[in-house]
Amino acid sequence: MSQLSEIKCPVCAQWSNWTGKVDAKCPHCGAQLEPEHLKYEQEKKARTEQTKESSYLIIKDTDDTIVQMGKQFVNWLRWSTFFGISVIYFFVALMILVFGVVALV
């Protein structure tokens, strides 16, 4: 059972039935009922695609479930190693700074 509500069109200012779909259009003028929300969803989808492409191993829909899980684990291992090493470098730089200040005092 879908709930219907009304939304005012930002272009023609007519009230229209709205089911909550992102790509809903006004039946009176054909304009998007929520252009900001549609733009946000499109940007979110583009970010998701970019994240998938920046992964070490690209997970495809045609891969088996075990292969997808293996690729997710390898990608997770890669990123956790990267961030772990970054934390170590930050800690070393902080220690050099602290010991440098202490040596001056």
The predicted-structure confidence for 64-97, as pLDDT tens digits, reads as follows 999 989 988 998 999 899 999 999 999 999 999 9
* Cα separation, 89 vs 63, whole angstroms: 36
Q: What is the mean pLDDT of the chain?
A: 84
* Cα separation, 27 vs 8, whole angstroms: 11
85, two tokens: 């090493």
pLDDT above 70 (res 57): yes
pTM here?
A: 0.42
Question: What single letter denotes the amino acid at residue 46?
Answer: A
Tell me the domain boundaries of the chain: 1-54, 58-105
78, two tokens: 């890669």
The stretches of the chain forming alpha helices (DSSP H) are 35-53, 65-104
pLDDT above 70 (res 3): no
Phi/psi for 18 (5° steps) reads -135, 130
Angle at 70 between CA 68 and CA 75, to 5 degrees: 95
Give the distance, in angstroms, between the CA of residue 105 and the centroid of all CA atoms in the same chain: 47
Q: What is the pLDDT of residues 16-55, one digit of tens each?
A: 887 778 778 888 888 887 878 888 888 888 887 777 666 6
pLDDT above 60 (res 1): no
